[in-house]
Amino acid sequence: MLLHPERPIQIVIAGKSHPADDGGKRLIQEMVRFADDPEVRHRIVFLPNYDMGMAFPLYPGCDVWLNNPLRPYEACGTSGMKAALNGGLNLSIRDGWWDEWSDGENGWDIPSAQGVEDTDHRDDLEAAALYDLIEEEVTPRFYDLSGNGVPTRWVELMRHTLTSLGPKVQATRMVRNYVEDLYRPAALSGRALNSDYDGAVALAQWKRRVRGAWDDVVIEHVESATADVFEMGERLRLRAFVSLGELTPDDVDVQVVHGRVGESDELREPAVTSLAVAESYEPGRHRFEGVVLLDHTGAFGYTVRIVPRHDLLAGGAELGLATLAS
């Protein structure tokens, strides 16, 4: 691939190993020796002493940002975020931030062989998958030029990367989410609980009651008032018939979790819409209803779940309780 007569690739490697990471240091030594080979020296280079000064020209000058950790050991992967802000396309294992925000159109996912116990065999599998991606998908798209010499399909991926990831990978978005979703609600709850002991006692009693009654919470049936084939702009009307046992509709949040469907039939970047109680027709049994706006194209999926709800909870996951539609 480095010496392909029509679609050669060029590799720039930069970074540092932790002083105690002997394996990482040996790996860098091997890459440096390989880069010194006269036959490939013009296609691969190792840049020592990586720092912020080197990063400034490196990020905007990079077409593809390769990150291939062993899943699940990637702590986050902020380097790939910076690449996305500069229009670079990520080529990465689905781990860290990339596992959350890869949508199949802002880069490429290297298949992971997580679970293969033989580490050498796992490396072979993931390396072969990486080479196949570069040779069969990445380089053909990069060299697919229009009549005026522009890689139109590549530019489409860059534009999608900037619009889909640009607003997400900024510190302002992160701080805003922390403040709005965590710090402010926690402060309000703290004031309510610390004003007197009554609020804390009542919340503890409510938690005990919900935990004791949760086994009787069941989603009996979910039905849609919309056709099986959806179109963008339509509204999906849903009804969920649930049994709450001793709990009341005020104790729970009946939610529709919906979004794009990935290749493995999983929801990608799911959104949550709460349903409202429409009828209580027997003791402990209720009908919840709501509408989901289909505001994007592509495969769409949804499911219904029930989680505890209380004004002083940090969120529906705080008690570790959830009932899913079967």
Residue 92 CA to residue 3 CA, distance in Å, equals 23
Q: What is the DSSP letter of 183?
A: I
Q: What is the DSSP letter of 88?
A: P
Instruction: Work out the average pLDDT over 146-168.
Output: 93
Single residue among 165, 191, 226 that ends a domain in this structure: 165
Same domain, yes or no: 226 and 290: yes
For residues 217 and 247, the answer to whether their CB atoms sit within 8 Å is: yes
* pLDDT band, very low/low/confident/very high, at 229 (cuts 50, 70, 90): low
Q: Determine, yes or no, domain membership for 258.
A: yes
* pLDDT band, very low/low/confident/very high, at 230 (cuts 50, 70, 90): low
Q: Taking the CA of residue 235 as centre, how many other CA atoms within 13 Å lie in the half-sphere pointing to its CB?
A: 5
Same domain, yes or no: 252 and 317: yes
Q: Which residue has the tokens 């932790």?
A: 18
User: What is the per-residue pLDDT for 221?
Assistant: 93
User: What is the per-residue pLDDT for 24?
Assistant: 85
Same domain, yes or no: 228 and 157: no
Query: Residue 296 sits in a domain of what CATH number?
Result: 2.60.40
For residues 75 and 52, the answer to whether their CB atoms sit within 8 Å is: no
Same domain, yes or no: 103 and 248: no
Q: Determine, yes or no, domain membership for 182.
A: no
pLDDT per residue over 251-300, tens digit each?
999 999 988 777 777 777 788 999 999 999 888 999 999 988 877 666 77
What is the domain range of residue 19?
11-165
Cα–Cα distance list, 180 to 79, 284, 320 (Å):
26, 34, 22
Single residue among 165, 196, 225 that ends a domain in this structure: 165
User: What is the per-residue pLDDT for 70?
Assistant: 86
Residue 300 CA to residue 208 CA, distance in Å, equals 37
Same domain, yes or no: 216 and 148: no
pLDDT per residue over 78-103, tens digit each?
889 999 999 999 999 999 999 989 98
Query: Residue 95 sits in a domain of what CATH number?
Result: 3.40.50.2000
Same domain, yes or no: 17 and 129: yes
Same domain, yes or no: 153 and 238: no
Is the pLDDT at 235 greater than 60, yes or no?
yes
Q: Determine, yes or no, domain membership for 145.
A: yes
User: What is the per-residue pLDDT for 292?
Assistant: 86
Count of structural domains, the chain = 2
Same domain, yes or no: 25 and 158: yes
pLDDT per residue over 20-41, tens digit each?
989 888 988 999 999 999 999 9
Single residue among 110, 137, 165 that ends a domain in this structure: 165
- Beta-bridge mates of residue 12: 45
Q: Determine, yes or no, domain membership for 192.
A: no
Q: What is the mean pLDDT of the chain?
A: 89
Q: Determine, yes or no, domain membership for 170.
A: no
Q: Determine, yes or no, domain membership for 136.
A: yes
Q: Determine, yes or no, domain membership for 1.
A: no
Quick one: which of 260, 221, 220, 256 has its CA closest to 236? 256
Is the pLDDT at 130 greater than 70, yes or no?
yes
- Beta-bridge mates of residue 271: 258
Q: Determine, yes or no, domain membership for 89.
A: yes
Q: Which pair of tokens denotes residue 249? A: 């509709």
- Beta-bridge mates of residue 221: 241
pLDDT per residue over 182-200, tens digit each?
899 888 888 877 766 777 8
For residues 286 and 157, the answer to whether their CB atoms sit within 8 Å is: no
Same domain, yes or no: 18 and 161: yes
Same domain, yes or no: 59 and 145: yes
Residue 286, helix vs strand vs coil:
strand
Same domain, yes or no: 46 and 151: yes
Same domain, yes or no: 256 and 160: no
Residue 318 CA to residue 199 CA, distance in Å, equals 17
